[in-house]
Chain A
Amino acid sequence: MPRTFDFTVNGKAVSVSLDNEETPLLDVLRNKLGLMGTRFGCGLEQCGCCMVLIDGEPEKCCAKPVWSIAGKSVITIEGLGSAERPHPLQQAFLDEQAGQCGYCLSGIIVSAKALLDRNPSPTRAEIAAALDSNICRCGSHNRIMRAVEKAAAIMRAGGA
């Protein structure tokens, strides 16, 4: 017997019906809602590819049962900005060419957004500590941290 779960994704109300209420939020985003920007990396809440904001907090969603999201607000990488209206973080990642394969970037940008929301002026060490919940395997770490610093400066100056 399917159960229905209501929550918001990127500001829009969604209602999903599922037989398995343990279905991870990641699978719902990707396979039910067509939001492919949140990536699968491990299914173990270890690598951070699936990072989203749930009620403003950064959370890995690859093992987060959909029932636990009912009534909450989810923001994904698609909710941050677009090519037409990039979020300062997305623009800074492009400016710094902060990525190689790019598979980890959605989760990293979401983690960085959560950091800047609570700390608009992070030090390099604070950025690194916040991003330790994400894995980058290609070795783009320094570019990524530069991009976060750059976005923070732009946002402090009122760029977003």
Chain B
Amino acid sequence: MNAPLPGPLADNRRLDRWVAFPAPGQVTILTGRVEIGQGVLTAMAQIAADELDVAMTRIAIRSGDTEATPNEGYTAGSQSIQFGAAALRQALADIRALFLEKAAQMLGCDARELSIVDGQILRNGVSSAQDYWSLAGMVNLAVDATGTGARKAASEFKTIGASTARLDLPGKVFGAPAFIHDMKLDGMVHARVVRQPNRGASIGSIDEAAIKRAAKGAIDFVRNGDFLAVISNDETAVDLAGAAAADHVTWQNVEAPAASQQEARWLLQRPAIDRPFGAPPSPDAQATERFEATYTRGYLAHASISPSCGLALYKNGHLDVWTHCQGVFPLRAALARELGIAADKISVHHVQGSGCYGHNGADDAAADAAIVALQKPGIPVRVRWRREEEFVYEPKTPAMVVTVRALLDETGKPSDWTQEIWSPTHNLRPGGGGNLLGALALPNPPPAPPPNDVPEANGGGATRNAEPLYAIPAKRILHHLVTETPIRTSALRGLGAMPNVFALECAIDELAERAGADPVAYRLSITADVRARAVIEKVAAMARWDANAPAGTGIGRGIAFARYKNKAAYSAIVVELQVDEDIRLRRVWCATDAGLVVNPDGAVNQLEGGIIQSASWVLKEQVRFDNGVASLDWETYPVLKFSEVPAIDVELINTRDEIPLGVGEATAGPTAAAIGNAVSHALGARIRDLPLTRERVMAALLKE
């Protein structure tokens, strides 16, 4: 009798896609999830240690490889633990059961007499002289999962739930070659791409002699249509050539984003596809009062600390690609589609890069390497983007305009809620049909994908977290999917959740103020979900929330809450800050219910990181346009510095729940709104446009 399988296991049923016993004493876990700085591989090893009853030290992880691992799509959306862990646990439980069955058969006993300690099989607590490795040759793992193996109960967890040191951290603090940037293949050449400014732009002229002079070393050119690269075995030479090329290559049909297109409100009058969700249009009649406010957020960059990097080798008709992208299988499909090679002639291997926080340049850098490699068969090619190239050409998270309209009942609580959103797509990943940048410069470039966004069943893109979790009788979303954008937009940590939660949680504070209510008490008065109530109450207690703290003193506190995607972790945040010339964060408190937590310290690290990154977005970040992207480096796109980071207290509650809930993106929205609410409290004036710059603070004060 088979049992239903968790999604990723149903998609990858063969058990030998999940585990191998390569040598005595060793276990290899195969996972489609990839390390992007979030610690997922350590969590997977913890899970394997418990489900297989082996020591962590025996476990090696192989991740994200089209030739070896399960296809789990993208490592994104805070889903690795929430869904991926369930799949791995069930696969390993099935595998453990098969080994116990084989051992029972060998020993002529009942499997119930057997247990496993660090891979050794015990019969009634005594060594049976059998272990995983002695039996591995006799247990056929080339079979489908049945879902019948008994997963460990929470009471049996030893490693799951214990804070566990990251497996990848030692290499990084000792300066080992830990990243894709550090890979060296025999005979490798370095390449830099002379980027096509936009789809449809074509090369006018190339002053090869000038570029060669600038390189101060031997370089060659590789060209296919309007795809142009410089290659050399001297990385310094291609760096110099790549930087100089801007002055020595002319382009026709250039379209550059204009300064006038920079702000979110530019989106309001653009062509769009209207996507309504939720309650039918509201009958306003009974409402005694109405509220309306509009909130905006500009374009943001992922701004990964390392520029993107990719390696490729085309040899004997087969293309191998090494990448730090979030999905090796979708990238393989896109390479096949856009470069015209059969997918079974392409292997894609994940190697760690720096934190990506979503769809940065990784896929495109891999495609660049592949395009060059196809022109240079037999020669391994390494492409590393330049810093400016990363800032200009990585997909940005879209600017968004969010208007909240609420009808209020006689007690000042919302009876009807509309969240109207103007946003370009959050989904131009290659797996969502998005193009690979380099392919657009090839002869016969692939067509642009039809406008789409992340399906609401997967949490939505622009609509993510647009529906309040609060008990409001009627809720609706109206999404205008803007189809004309000045730059390429795609997924960044949380997608639409940050602007949506910023809008709705600031609106809730505005409603509380109008009702003369304390923001914590007001939220609790419209919250039925007990887990939501628990994190709000917890964070208020942590921060010693004072309902009577006066507003307008220059020091402010704000609270905000969200359940990420309304189906992952619950997080409530309190921010304390000071506003003088600038906004200075003083303290942040966070209470999170992520259900079962595999690695508590790892989860806290992710929550802290989300708080700091969101604070950076809110206080400092916006991509500027000025006849092209004008945010080119860390001076023109500043991010939060060490001296600007607040003290942060995070507490996890309900960690022994059966079901894990994704945490990686849970704090992005609540942090943004809590800062917005705290600034309003400090100033006695509301700022609804992000980022909260000094100019906006001054303008808000003058208006008051």
Residues of A bordering B, CB below 8 Å: 19-20, 22-24, 27, 30-31, 35-44, 46-47, 49, 76-78, 81-83, 86, 90, 93-94, 97, 99-106, 109, 125, 127-129, 131-132, 134-145
Set of chain A residues within 8 Å of B36, measured between Cβ atoms:
101
Which B611-629 residues sit within 8 Å CB-CB of chain A?
611-613, 616
Please determine whether B387 and A19 come into contact, CB atoms closer than 8 angstroms.
no
Rounded to whole Å, the gap between the CB of B670 and the closest CB of chain A is 15
Give CA–CA (A22, B169) in the complex, Å: 34
Set of chain A residues within 8 Å of B166, measured between Cβ atoms:
97, 99
Give CA–CA (A49, B303) in the complex, Å: 14
Please determine whether A86 and B174 come into contact, CB atoms closer than 8 angstroms.
yes
Set of chain B residues within 8 Å of A131, measured between Cβ atoms:
642
Set of chain B residues within 8 Å of A82, measured between Cβ atoms:
174
Task: Show 15 A/B contacts (Cβ-Cβ < 8 Å), sorted by A.
Answer: A36-B177, A42-B633, A43-B239, A78-B175, A94-B173, A97-B602, A99-B166, A100-B37, A102-B172, A105-B173, A138-B613, A139-B612, A139-B645, A140-B608, A141-B640
Which B153-195 residues sit within 8 Å CB-CB of chain A?
165-166, 168-179, 181-182
Please determine whether A81 and B174 come into contact, CB atoms closer than 8 angstroms.
yes
Please determine whether A137 and B305 come into contact, CB atoms closer than 8 angstroms.
yes
Give CA–CA (A138, B172) in the complex, Å: 14
Set of chain A residues within 8 Å of B236, measured between Cβ atoms:
20, 23-24, 27, 31
Q: Which listed residue, B168, B357, B609, touches A102 by the CB 8 Å rule?
A: B168
Set of chain B residues within 8 Å of A46, measured between Cβ atoms:
633-635
Known: A41-B305, A46-B635, A142-B645. 10 other contacts (CB 8 A): A78-B175, A83-B170, A86-B174, A94-B165, A97-B166, A97-B169, A104-B305, A104-B354, A106-B173, A109-B173
B505 interface residue (CB < 8 Å to A): no
The closest CB in chain B to the CB of A89 belongs to B173
Known: A24-B236, A103-B355, A105-B173. A49 touches B608 (CB 8 A): no
B306 interface residue (CB < 8 Å to A): yes
Known: A49-B305, A135-B639. A43 touches B173 (CB 8 A): no
B641 interface residue (CB < 8 Å to A): yes
Q: Which listed residue, A19, A30, A39, A125, touches B306 by the CB 8 Å rule?
A: A39
Set of chain A residues within 8 Å of B608, measured between Cβ atoms:
139-140, 142-143
Q: Which listed residue, A43, A77, A138, touches B174 by the CB 8 Å rule?
A: A77
Please determine whether B182 and A36 come into contact, CB atoms closer than 8 angstroms.
yes
Please determine whether A20 and B217 come into contact, CB atoms closer than 8 angstroms.
yes
Set of chain A residues within 8 Å of B610, measured between Cβ atoms:
139
Set of chain A residues within 8 Å of B179, measured between Cβ atoms:
39, 103
Please determine whether B633 and A105 come into contact, CB atoms closer than 8 angstroms.
no
Query: By CB atoms of chain A within 10 A, which of B174, B605, B611 has the most?
Result: B174
Please determine whether B176 and A36 come into contact, CB atoms closer than 8 angstroms.
yes
Which B423-467 residues sit within 8 Å CB-CB of chain A?
none
Q: Which listed residue, A40, A47, A100, A105, touches B181 by the CB 8 Å rule?
A: A40
Known: A93-B173, A142-B648. A137 touches B354 (CB 8 A): yes
Rounded to whole Å, the gap between the CB of A113 and the closest CB of chain B is 12
Known: A128-B643, A132-B641. A41 touches B609 (CB 8 A): no
Query: Main SS of the interface on chain B?
Result: loop
Please determine whether B305 and A132 come into contact, CB atoms closer than 8 angstroms.
no
Q: Which listed residue, B38, B175, B237, B642, touches A134 by the CB 8 Å rule?
A: B642
Please determine whether B216 and A22 come into contact, CB atoms closer than 8 angstroms.
yes
Q: Which listed residue, B171, B239, B387, touches A41 by the CB 8 Å rule?
A: B387
Rounded to whole Å, the gap between the CB of B174 and the closest CB of chain A is 6
The closest CB in chain A to the CB of B38 belongs to A100
Residues of B bordering A, CB below 8 Å: 36-39, 165-166, 168-179, 181-182, 216-217, 235-237, 239, 303-307, 352-355, 357, 384, 386-387, 601-602, 605-606, 608-613, 616, 633-635, 639-643, 645, 647-648
Rounded to whole Å, the gap between the CB of B613 and the closest CB of chain A is 5
Please determine whether B175 and A76 come into contact, CB atoms closer than 8 angstroms.
yes
Rounded to whole Å, the gap between the CB of B320 and the closest CB of chain A is 21
Set of chain A residues within 8 Å of B176, measured between Cβ atoms:
36-37
Please determine whether A100 and B645 come into contact, CB atoms closer than 8 angstroms.
no
The closest CB in chain B to the CB of A49 belongs to B305
Give CA–CA (A71, B643) in the complex, Å: 35
Set of chain B residues within 8 Å of A78, measured between Cβ atoms:
174-175
Please determine whether A142 and B306 come into contact, CB atoms closer than 8 angstroms.
no
Set of chain B residues within 8 Å of A49, measured between Cβ atoms:
305-306
Please determine whether B605 and A42 come into contact, CB atoms closer than 8 angstroms.
no
Give CA–CA (A134, B39) in the complex, Å: 22
Give CA–CA (A23, B608) in the complex, Å: 39
Give CA–CA (A77, B639) in the complex, Å: 25
Give CA–CA (A32, B237) in the complex, Å: 14
Known: A49-B306, A97-B169. A135 touches B634 (CB 8 A): yes
Set of chain A residues within 8 Å of B357, measured between Cβ atoms:
137
Please determine whether B643 and A40 come into contact, CB atoms closer than 8 angstroms.
no
Known: A23-B236, A27-B236. A47 touches B642 (CB 8 A): no
Please determine whether B643 and A20 come into contact, CB atoms closer than 8 angstroms.
no
The closest CB in chain A to the CB of B391 belongs to A42
Known: A77-B174, A97-B166, A100-B37. A135 touches B305 (CB 8 A): yes
Set of chain B residues within 8 Å of A20, measured between Cβ atoms:
216-217, 236-237
Give CA–CA (A128, B608) in the complex, Å: 17
Query: By CB atoms of chain A within 10 A, which of B176, B355, B386 has the most?
Result: B355
Known: A132-B642, A145-B642. A19 touches B175 (CB 8 A): no
Please determine whether B217 and A19 come into contact, CB atoms closer than 8 angstroms.
yes
Give CA–CA (A145, B641) in the complex, Å: 12
The closest CB in chain A to the CB of B302 belongs to A137
Give CA–CA (A101, B35) in the complex, Å: 8
Rounded to whole Å, the gap between the CB of A37 and the closest CB of chain B is 2
Give CA–CA (A78, B178) in the complex, Å: 13
Known: A43-B239, A77-B175, A94-B165. A137 touches B217 (CB 8 A): no
Rounded to whole Å, the gap between the CB of B324 and the closest CB of chain A is 10
Set of chain B residues within 8 Å of A41, measured between Cβ atoms:
305-307, 387
Set of chain A residues within 8 Å of B642, measured between Cβ atoms:
127-129, 131-132, 134, 136, 141, 144-145
Q: Which listed residue, A90, A127, A135, A138, touches B173 by the CB 8 Å rule?
A: A90
Set of chain A residues within 8 Å of B640, measured between Cβ atoms:
141
Rounded to whole Å, the gap between the CB of A49 and the closest CB of chain B is 6
Set of chain A residues within 8 Å of B173, measured between Cβ atoms:
77, 86, 90, 93-94, 99, 102, 105-106, 109
Rounded to whole Å, the gap between the CB of B122 and the closest CB of chain A is 34
Please determine whether A47 and B37 come into contact, CB atoms closer than 8 angstroms.
no
Known: A132-B643, A137-B355, A142-B645. A102 touches B217 (CB 8 A): no
